[in-house]
Structure 1
């Protein structure tokens, strides 16, 4: 149930209770005072009708699961308002004669206002139950949203971890490539060093032979 509807509902219950008390008080009035009180009650009934129209519009904008309960409550509020209108009519028409006024006060008004009070009590209990149900639905909806947010957060974390793993894999590939290049370079250097060793060894051998030849010719001849 929307908070707007609940606000209209509270206003209506307050106005309805006030109008019931005013109808009871008006049943004892006559003449100009009765007219003033009747005008005041009529104004209050008009305001109550406006609240019911607002509640009707608000209820029809709710989800189907909530709308049915609100419309059922509205039917009871409309019945309550019709009782108030009937009470006002009997007050204004019944006060033309003292006897009619007494009869209205003792029978019709007591019955009408008693029914109205019973309806208000029943409506308030129904409203309280529906509010509790609505609170549970709202809590469930909030839990669902929190679970959904948690799921989205987990998916985002998993996506970030996947991106980091992909980046790490790419980095490892680059490292492997660099290691492969380094191995090839080191292999080429080792081969070059081996070749240089053989060349140096060959040169040293030639030098040793040359020295020996020189010494031979020097001491023999």
Structure 2
């Protein structure tokens, strides 16, 4: 079957049918008030069975097309069985009368006297089934909400963990940038020192060259021009 609710209704109907199918035979063996009580019980159980069958029809309309044929076959069979039970009960209930006509009148009188009470009970049971159905829908909605909340909580936890990992990465990157900045500062200082040393060396070299030229000029002057 395609529906868990249909299975539950199926089990309820089977239980009611097992109780109903023995009542026509019992009605043949009892008389008077006992028969009336049996007829009343039959009416009540029949009403319950009809409500269950109506619930199964609602499930059938909502079921997927692949399951409808099997479910529809079962429903037709259950309707046929209920009709047979009703005919059997109508035949069995008036069996104790003085004649078949009187028995039939007594039978119809019993059913007529119980009609209003059965209708009221059926209405109450219908309301009860509707309340149970609403409760089931509410329970399912609560379960869905709980699942969504759990999924949302898990997603939030994952996001927090991911953000924590990203924060650690950012901290490491910032620390590396700080170290890089410090290294650049030291490199700039070294380059400035090297630049100053280079300029100083150039000046010293220029002075040395000038001094060597001056000495060379003096030597040439003293050797060749001064006698």
Q: Could you tell me the TM-score, scaled by structure 1's length? A: 0.55
Give the number of equivalent residue pairs. Answer: 148
- 1:61-92 Cα offsets, whole Å, 9 max, x none, are xxxxxxxxxxxxxxxxxxxxxxxxxxxxxxxx
- Picking from 215, 222, 226, the partner of 1:220 is 226
Contact 1:24 1:109 in 2 (8 A): yes
- Picking from 185, 195, 200, the partner of 1:190 is 195
Alignment of 1:45-64 (within 5 A): none
TM-superposed deviation, 1:137: 0.9
Counterpart Cα distance in 2 of 1:152 and 1:113: 59
TM-superposed deviation, 1:114: 3.5
TM-superposed deviation, 1:123: 4.4
Structure 1 unaligned segments of length 5 or more: list them: 30-94
Q: Aligned in 2, Cα 1:175/1:164: closer, same or farther, shift over 3 Å?
A: same
**Which protein shows a greater Rg?**
2
TM-superposed deviation, 1:172: 0.5
Alignment of 1:147-162 (within 5 A): 147-162=152-167
Contact 1:13 1:120 in 2 (8 A): no
Give 1:170's aligned residue.
175
Q: Aligned in 2, Cα 1:210/1:130: closer, same or farther, shift over 3 Å?
A: same
- Picking from 132, 144, 150, the partner of 1:145 is 150
TM-superposed deviation, 1:12: 4.7
Q: Aligned in 2, Cα 1:180/1:130: closer, same or farther, shift over 3 Å?
A: same
TM-superposed deviation, 1:176: 1.0
TM-superposed deviation, 1:194: 2.3
Counterpart Cα distance in 2 of 1:214 and 1:22: 149
Q: Aligned in 2, Cα 1:134/1:143: closer, same or farther, shift over 3 Å?
A: same
Q: Could you tell me the TM-score, scaled by structure 2's length? A: 0.54
- Picking from 9, 32, 38, the partner of 1:109 is 38
- 1:161-213 Cα offsets, whole Å, 9 max, x none, are 21221122012112112212211321231132122112212211211111210
Give 2:135's aligned residue.
130
Counterpart Cα distance in 1 of 2:171 and 2:25: 84
Give 1:52's aligned residue.
none
Give 1:42's aligned residue.
none
- 1:130-187 Cα offsets, whole Å, 9 max, x none, are 1111122122212322321332233123213212211220121121122122113212
User: RMSD of aligned C-alpha atoms?
Assistant: 3.0
Counterpart Cα distance in 1 of 2:6 and 2:208: 109
Give 2:112's aligned residue.
none
